[in-house]
Amino acid sequence: MQFSLTILGSGASIPLADRNPTAQLLQLDSRKFLLDCGEGTQMQIRRFSARPQQISHIFISHLHGDHFYGLIGLINTFHLLNRKSELHIYGIQALKEILDLQLEQSHTALNYPLEFYPVNPEISSVIFEDELVSVRTIPLVHRIPTCGFLVGEKKGRQRSFAYCTDTAYTEKIIPLVKNCDLLYHEATFTHDRQADATAKFHSTAREAATIAQKAGVKKLLIGHYSARYKELDGLLEEARAVFPETYLATDGLKFQI
């Protein structure tokens, strides 16, 4: 089964010319899962991926704007393209209230079914499962309720991908991501800005690598870089000093799991 990841956005907070806010597209055979949907995501989908209408499930980690401000635009574009197939969205209950208000106030009656599934970010639970794949939440530590997602094959090689976006350093996630094939872990800052990371409930590149090392994952992908970093070599070097199998998430990168 094909199991691949495309980075649609690798930045934090604000869009840059070469770095969109967070979004990742995960393809498992014919399934396309979208993880977060920052501003401009639908343009990135068109740049880096064919057939955006094949996206069937969208998982939103939390309600900071750089992770979901692109969602209503994508939902509306699907409507304008006369989508008929169901779209499944997972996030905290407040996200449904936001989407309902946006659709109501724009007098938009979608011509396809939109199914919403509320997620409790404080506990780890399976929120989606079919015969080939499962998706489990990973509670994270951030300024507002936030969770990551563990996506795993149920048959074949049983590969797994863990998505741990905005979070302070927490070893509580280690049992959940242990031995996964690919871990994406935010690395907003280098370690010389540890005080900033702690104050903003983010992680440094060294901390992301420490989690990868302690969890025994095969590969680490870091991202969600602060806009202060025009070059990313320092983040990569810092992480690789702890965990050599570290790679940079950059917009357009395609990674085979």
Rounded distance, CA 130 to CA 153, Å? 10
List 148's β-bridge partners, or say none: 138
Q: What is the pLDDT of residues 139-154, one digit of tens each?
A: 999 999 999 999 999 9
Band of residue 78 on the pLDDT scale cut at 50, 70, 90: very high
Q: Give the residue, 157 or 251, on which the prediction is more confident.
A: 251
DSSP 86: -
For the chain, the average pLDDT equals 97
Please state whether beta strands 114-118 and 126-129 pair in parallel, antiparallel, or not at all (unpaired).
unpaired
- Active-site positions read 66
Handedness of CA 216, 163, 151, 123 (dihedral sign): positive
pTM of the model: 0.97
Burial tier of 69 (Cβ tally within 10 Å: 0-12, 13-18, 19+): middle
Kindly tell me if the per-residue pLDDT of 101 is higher than 90: yes
Q: What are phi and psi of 151, to 5 degrees?
A: -110, 125
Q: Residue 146's domain spans which residues?
A: 3-254
For residue 227, what is the domain's CATH number? 3.60.15.10
Rounded distance, CA 138 to CA 149, Å? 5
Task: Count Cα neighbours of 233 within 13 Å in the Cβ-side half-sphere.
Answer: 1
**What is the pLDDT averaged over residues 180-194?**
98
Are residues 51 and 257 in contact, defined by beta-carbon separation less than 8 angstroms? no
User: What pLDDT does 43 receive?
Assistant: 95
| 3-class DSSP assignment, residue 130 | coil
List 88's β-bridge partners, or say none: 57, 115
CB 244: neighbour CB atoms within 10 A?
Answer: 11
Q: What is the pLDDT of residues 8-34, one digit of tens each?
A: 999 998 999 999 999 999 999 889 999
Dig out the tokens for 24 from the structure.
Answer: 């990742």
User: What pLDDT does 155 receive?
Assistant: 86
The one-letter code for the residue type at 177 is V
Residue for token digits 């969109």?
A: 20
Kindly tell me if the per-residue pLDDT of 49 is higher than 80: no
Band of residue 116 on the pLDDT scale cut at 50, 70, 90: very high
Domain tally, the chain: 1
Provide the b/e sequence for 170-196 (b: ≥16 CB within 10 Å): beebbebbeebbbbbbbbbbbbebeee
